[in-house]
Structure 1
């Protein structure tokens, strides 16, 4: 079966949204909103940017699938989330650093960071 690039992007997008269903509710909302925004913003990007975009989101989907496992986070082979290497951060454009900072702010203000009270 031969897919067009638009079909591949659509499949990747739907796969990411399905994977997000396995995240804790707050992360699911945050991740889904972020993914939707990023895919919309890159609809008209250049071919070179599209290639990088698809590769990075594919790696994200693979990583998330490994973390979530078949039946949710408790069956995954890895912890949810990962640290960014300093070299990776140094390669980001100013706009990307700003986005990353906003994402960090949003993620750290959600209740999922708080441990349950007993």
Structure 2
């Protein structure tokens, strides 16, 4: 069995997530890819204990997304966050979550074009 360095493991996980995002609807793909790219850049030089948590969380995300995308009749992507999880977020994580929600709810460019032509 091959033994990978930490950098290789991070790169493999990052590329896997980007490949999974290609199966998302266009608007979710853009949001998800930009968010993942930003988070991976932010954690490039984090402490080893933070890196372990980071890798576990993103691995869980990749597994969850792969399962959701693998179910052909599943129209829902994502899952609800429990109140306990939200209560344990740091302030900056709450801000990130809010910004992600705003981006997800923003009108798409093609929707704006349809509205103006009506």
Greater CA radius of gyration, 1 or 2? 2
By how many angstroms is 1:76 displaced?
Answer: 6.2
Change (3 A) 1:17 1:110: farther
The 1-side partners of 2:45 and 2:51 are apart by: 9
Gaps of 5+ in 1: none
The verdict on how the C-alpha distance between 1:5 and 1:78 changes in structure 2, with shifts beyond 3 A counting, is farther
Q: Is the 1:42–1:50 Cα contact (8 Å) retained in structure 2?
A: yes
Alpha-carbon separation, structure 2, partners of 1:75 and 1:57: 23
Aligned: 1:30 with 2:31: yes
Gaps (5+ residues) in structure 2?
A: 112-118
The two structures have a TM-score, normalised by structure 1, of 0.87
- Residue-pair matches, total: 109
Question: Which TM-score applies when normalising by structure 2?
Answer: 0.87
RMSD, aligned CA: 1.8
